[in-house]
Amino acid sequence: MTKTTTDELASKGLAAKRAARELAKVTGGVRNRALLNIADRIVEQQETILDANRLDLDAGTEKGLPDYYLDRMMLNGERLEAIASDVRGVAGLPDPVGEVIEMKTVPNGLQVGRRRVPLGVVGVIYESRPNVTVDISTLCLKSGNAVILRGGSDTINSNTALANIIREAIADAGAPRNAVQLIESTDRELVGKMLEAREYIDLLIPRGGQELINRVARDAKMPAITGGVGVCHTYVDKEADLDMAMDIVFNAKVQRYSVCNAMDTLLVHSAVAPAYLPKMAGRFAEAGVEMRCDRRALSLIGPSNGSGVLQVIPASEDDWSTEFLALIAGVRVVDSLDDALDHIETYGSGHSDAIVTEDYSAAMRFVDEVDSSAVFVNCSTRFNDGGQFGLGAEVAISTNKFHARGPMGLKELTSYKWTVMGSGQVRT
């Protein structure tokens, strides 16, 4: 770690902390003006952004980065328009700051309430997706928080260009430009330093793979959101509407398989497995889903026919606890709701789990007993999402139980203070 790198974190951390205090006094109108400025300028100054992005893409191509990765890094006019449109959407959301959560008058006449306030400084470590730079900056700004951004080194030029535009747009609205700080050092040790920087960072959000999240969970000295890994189940009960179960399971696995709320393991009650599994296997085969099956599921579906259409192999023990993020599904036959609940408790990650059933008591038990951030009856696990739940925006999905669980929207980026208005009361 060079001295320069440590200095950068310290100076930007201090600047963010001071800006957070200033920003806490800025009205929602000014914060919204800043957001609309950002949206306008991302479109107006797109040449500057795209030039910087071109530098990143050229360097990435030279390094031999794979195409899917380069695609994630890539910006163009259309993508920038979409990003700007999202920013305008955030400006239009209700202001979480200043909301009075409850206000009551207690017997001695004191008016006691809780008022939402920003958390302070949010630190975010993320991979090489420049849209995250805008996304996180604007959600933090809307919720009155300063932010320290540490994006992937492969998009450092794009991120720098975007952060410059964002900071100018904030300043022109009359808010503190230092509320957004981008760490420019690409020194890898900087992540370790961020995990220690509890004097500057009030909440740390890692947006990345399992390795980063595990490291943050283990080493962060400040509160952190360390969820995001979803080993998600759908249980098809013996009283399921099997057509509905087919659609729900297909959607949960196939509609977007690279995300945390996609289904990983299909559990099917043995009473309906013979009628259900062969048909479901057919649907999966059409979509190119590989099925990793327990012994009983295997015997019902049959082994791969070798045509490359039906992809069926025996599951390994590890498959049950794997987040596939791919067109792969574990498939297991169970003999009861209890067996399904046991499987979910043993192998799940507490993210998103669903039951398909017409049996009232089975549905109630599933909702009561599955200890996950979101539990679903007769619908797809893919709905575990801030937008779908009506939060308007999503910062992350938490599988922690502390502070926030499941999709985190703007309110989950706030704290509160107690306000007590009196007329001379003393305690006796």
Residues of this chain that interact with a second copy (CB under 8 A) are 21, 24-25, 104, 106, 110, 112, 114, 117, 119-120, 202-203, 218, 221, 223, 241, 244, 247-248, 250-252, 255, 345, 363, 367-369, 371-380, 382-384, 388-390, 400-403, 405-407, 415-428
β 290-293/328-334 pair status:
parallel
**Smallest separation (angstroms) from a second copy to the CB of 107:** 9
DSSP string, 184-197: ----TTHHHHHHH-
* Closest distance of CB 400 from a second copy, Å: 8
Pairing of strands 111-118, 100-105: antiparallel
Residues 6+ apart with CB under 8 A from 154: 56, 59, 60, 63, 65, 69, 73, 128
Considering the complex, state which of residue 3 and residue 417 has its C-beta at the smaller distance from a second copy. 417
- In the bound state with a second copy, the residue whose beta carbon lies nearer, of 60 and 407, is 407
Q: Cβ 51 to a second copy, closest distance in Å?
A: 37
- Could you say which DSSP state residue 356 is in? E
- Separation CA 163–CA 129 (nearest Å): 13
Look at the chain and count its residues. Answer: 428
- Closest CB 109 distance from a second copy, rounded Å: 9
Shortest Cβ 362–a second copy spacing (Å):
13
Name the token pair of 199. Answer: 């004097």
Max intra-chain CA distance, the chain? 84
Nearer to a second copy, 46 or 226 (CB): 226
User: In the complex with a second copy, which residue's Cβ is closer, 47 or 368?
Assistant: 368
Look up residue 393 and give its two tokens.
């925006």
Query: Terminal CA-to-CA distance of the chain, rounded, Å?
Result: 57
Residue closer to a second copy (CB basis): 3 or 104: 104
Q: Minimum CB separation from a second copy for residue 105, in Å?
A: 10
Structure tokens, 153: 């080194």
Helix (H, G, I), strand (E, B) or coil at 108: coil
Q: For residues 7 and 199, which CB has a smaller minimum distance to a second copy in the complex?
A: 199
> Which CB atom, from 57 or from 263, has the smaller least distance to a second copy?
263
Shortest Cβ distance from residue 156 to a second copy (Å)? 30
Asked if residues 345 and 367 have their Cβ atoms less than 8 Å apart, the reply is no
